[in-house]
Amino acid sequence: MNDSLTLDTTVAPDPVAAYALAHESPWPRDIHAHIEGGFFEPPPHNAILGPVAARGGPNGLVLRHGQVVARWGNTRQVDMTFSVAKSYLALLAGLAVMDGLLPNLDALVAEAVHDGGFEGPHNGAITWRMLLQNCSEWEGSLFGKSDEIDRGRNLNVEGQGNKGVRPLRTPGTYWEYNDVRVNRLSLALLRLFGRPLPEVFVERIMRPIGASMDWQWHGYETSWVEVAGRRVQSVSGGGHWGGGVFIHAEDQARIGQLVLQGGVWQGQRLLPEGWIGQCTTPCALNPQYGYLFWLNTGRSKFPSAPAESFWFSGAGGNTTWMDPSRGLVLVSRWLDPAKLNGLLALL
């Protein structure tokens, strides 16, 4: 992959770029006010606990076989990326597998994590696979946020009203997109590594792929914990309450290219062999989801794209799309989510 991510000037201007610029996200630039206004949750559940930044304009780029073939906007604008961070947690879980810290995904989390979060007959039955597939049904409060905030969450109507709190199910029997539970996974991975996850991410992923040091990964003012005698911050898997990954499109493209290449970068294996295949295997409870990766199984979500393509998704129109059949990586920032299928059709 070209280290400078320069545009191949032999390629004609791409209609993908024009389309993306013409269909900006309806989100306001003032994200702080958007969250405080109750887009994700009504008061008091919308209380912001971590850093929040105003967003920039739409931007992105397309890689084909590792070369930049289209670019638009300011691709070095560092912005919040919301739930794209969840997929980065899946990469960190792969590193834990590679290091022998997580040899069995079907093992009980309670066997390795002893911080009180996985005790009792309900939470004690949760496995690592359940956490990675968003079907753990973990119950409790973490860093001042209860799992009930997202229990009953419907992604199709996000930002359109209150959720109703549904009854809790048996771990492993119900799929639900839930930020508190993903944050519980993040803390569990922190316990496994015994060091801050951003340190692991920069050392094992970002530095080897030639990423910049412009990105940051934040948690909450309430998410400081003690690990091996050191006070560290557990990072979040999204930005509902602030925090999460702040990053630009060029670094996201490098991460997407690493994933497209099965976790290998310039001949060096950074992720365990077969891990990306596991991440892109449909969950039995939701065929459009793997290990914190979104899948286009049966082309049911995006008919304009191949069934084998997959993506990382963040609120507000933040997408890292990977199409193994064509060697493509698309990073699109602040696109109207309703226009993503149209963008993929052009791609």
Chain position carrying tokens 């991510």: 5
> What is the pTM for the complete model shown?
0.95
CA-derived radius of gyration, the chain: 19
Q: Residue 106 has which token pair?
A: 């079907």
Per-residue pLDDT band at 11 (split at 50, 70, 90):
very low
pLDDT tens by residue, 298-321: 999 999 999 999 999 999 999 999
320, containing H or E segment:
strand 318-323
Chain position carrying tokens 């993503």: 340
Domains in the chain with CATH codes? 15-346 (3.40.710.10)
pLDDT, mean over the chain: 94
Count Cα neighbours of 23 within 13 Å in the Cβ-side half-sphere. 19
pLDDT tens by residue, 62-102: 999 999 999 999 999 999 999 999 999 999 999 999 999 99
pLDDT tens by residue, 130-148: 999 999 999 999 999 999 9
Alpha-helix residue ranges (DSSP H) falling in the chain: 15-22, 31-36, 84-98, 120-123, 128-132, 179-193, 197-201, 249-260, 275-279, 340-346
More confident residue, 159 or 225: 225
Coil, helix or strand at residue 289 = strand
> Computed from CA positions of residues 38, 41, 44, 48, in that sequence, does the dihedral angle turn out positive or negative?
negative
Q: Return the closest-CA partner of residue 190 out of 280, 93, 287.
A: 93
Average confidence (pLDDT) over 111-122: 97
pLDDT tens by residue, 157-202: 665 555 677 899 999 999 999 999 999 999 999 999 999 999 999 9
